[in-house]
Each structure stands twice: as C-alpha cells, then as structure tokens.
C-alpha cells in the first residue's frame, strides 16, 4: 500500500516539476520562501542540514549558502533533475524511509511536504533519527485554523498541469492542538512560526501597494500571537540529548 501511494505521489510531482517554479520567484510564493528561511536561518547557519522533500532545490540552494553542509532528498526524479542542475547534493528517497544513517545531520527541515505524507508520524520520526542529539527537526504543516484552509475549501482543487489537479495528491491538515502528539518522543517542541496569517488569496500580492501592505503584515505576524492562525505552521523541535 505504501509503495503504491509513493508511486502515485512520485507521478504527481514528476508531472508538477515541469511548471513548479513558474510563479515561485516573485510575489506570494517568494514571500513564503523568505518567511520560511527567516524562521530556520539561525538554526541552520554553519551547520549540517538535510531538506526532506527538497523538490527542485529552490530553498535548498539558499540553505546551502549559509550551512556548512546541505543535502536534499525527494521522492520525485523529475523534481530532482532540476535540483541537480543547480549543482546541489541530492538523492532520491522517501520521507518515511530516509536513506541516511542515524545522527547524520545537525538539522532536518521540511517545507510543504509533510502535509502530503499520510504516515506523518513515521516521517517525523525519520527526521529525528537522522539528527544528532541537541539538533533540530523543523517541519512545516498545513493548518486548518487559517484563511488558507478556508480559501482552499471554497476554491476547490486547482490545476497543477494538463489533466491533473491538487486533488490527485493526498493532503492533510493538522491543527496546533495536534503538534505535540505528532512529534516522536525523542524531540521536544520549542517554537512555532506562522506563515500566511492574513493573506486571503495569493493574487493580492500582485496588486501594487496592497501586496506590500500584506507582505509587511505577514512578516510581523510570524512570531506574534496570531501565528497560530498561519496557513503554514513551521514547527521547531529539538532532539533530546538522552
């Protein structure tokens, strides 16, 4: 069953890879990447980091500039082809069975990936396994307590290529109340950042002045009490020393 699900996800992301970066270098998507990187930069700088679900390497490339060593793993050969063209150190593998020995990295990060993994507890346990004691597991989850969730429910599945929509991949939403329960016992939750708190729809970031206003508001909200209503929850957990 897991192999069949992985195969479907691989096909989905191989198809998605052809146009994945079309809108990712400006506006809304660029802002999301910026806020995610801001959340992890202090923990990644000068350390050895693994990105789980690195995709085309868009974020991994930026992590590699500040980390001592940066590697990536992804289920999709199509996505990895783009990452390899960037000269990144990547390999094919599943989030629930990472192809690395225990305690190989100081930090394991994952953005916009774990929400598409049914056995998320196993994926988080794998991330914790490959991190050294005292290191960090940084996992981004989709939050149902958010405008993004409401917008997705109202708009329905969006196309990602000819003949394929977002409905073709498994997606889960985990509320802030679930965070500690999802984490393995080897780690403790130490922080949460909220990304996309105010943005009702991505297109508002294309509107002059209005887009700037929303971008400023989003930057302020990531660590404020309103972070619990972010469409994306960047969960930071530290691996116990014993």
Rounded Cα gap, residues 186 and 114, in angstroms: 18
Rounded Cα gap, residues 127 and 121, in angstroms: 10
Give residue-wise pLDDT tens across range 17-43.
777 777 788 899 999 999 999 999 999
CB atoms within 10 A of CB 230: 30
Give residue-wise pLDDT tens across range 50-72.
999 999 999 999 999 999 999 99
pLDDT at 167 over 90: no
Using DSSP's 3-state secondary structure scheme, residue 147 falls into helix
Q: Could you give the angle at which helices 27-44 and 58-66 cross, rounded to 10 degrees? A: 30
What is the per-residue pLDDT for 210? Answer: 95
Tokens of 52: 């789980």
In the chain, the number of structural domains is 1
What is the per-residue pLDDT for 4? Answer: 62
Could you tell me the CATH number of the domain that includes residue 47?
A: 3.40.50.150
In 53-186, the DSSP E strands lie at: 69-74, 89-92, 105-110, 131-142, 159-161, 164-165
Tell me what the mean pLDDT of segment 83-106 comes to: 97
Tell me what the mean pLDDT of segment 173-201 comes to: 97
- Domain span at residue 7 reads 2-239
Maximum pairwise Cα distance, the chain: 52
Rounded Cα gap, residues 187 and 237, in angstroms: 6
Residue 202 and residue 196 in contact, taking contact as beta carbons nearer than 8 Å:
no
Q: Could you give the angle at which helices 77-85 and 2-16 cross, rounded to 10 degrees? A: 50
């Amino acid at each position: 069953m897991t192999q069949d699900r992985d195969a479907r996800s691989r096909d989905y992301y191989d198809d998605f890879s052809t146009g994945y970066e079309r809108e990712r270098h400006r506006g809304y998507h660029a802002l999301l990447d910026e806020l995610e990187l801001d959340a992890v930069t202090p923990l990644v700088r000068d350390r050895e980091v693994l990105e789980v679900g690195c995709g085309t390497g868009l974020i991994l490339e930026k992590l590699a500039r500040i980390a001592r060593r940066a590697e990536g793993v992804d289920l999709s050969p199509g996505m990895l082809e783009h990452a390899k063209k960037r000269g990144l150190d990547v390999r094919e593998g599943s989030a629930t069975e990472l192809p690395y020995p225990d305690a190989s990295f100081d930090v394991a990060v994952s953005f916009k990936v774990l929400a598409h993994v049914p056995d998320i507890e196993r994926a988080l346990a794998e991330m914790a396994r490959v991190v050294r004691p005292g290191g960090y597991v940084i996992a981004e989850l989709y939050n149902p307590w958010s405008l993004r969730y409401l917008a997705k429910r109202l708009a329905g599945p969006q196309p990602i290529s000819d003949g394929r929509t977002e409905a073709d991949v498994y997606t889960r939403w985990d509320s802030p109340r679930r965070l500690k329960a999802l984490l393995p016992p080897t780690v403790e939750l130490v922080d949460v950042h909220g990304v996309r708190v105010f943005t009702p729809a991505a297109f508002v970031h294309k509107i002059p002045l209005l887009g700037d206003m929303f971008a400023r508001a989003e930057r302020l909200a990531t660590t404020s009490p309103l972070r619990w209503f972010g469409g994306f929850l960047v969960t930071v957990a530290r691996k116990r020393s014993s």
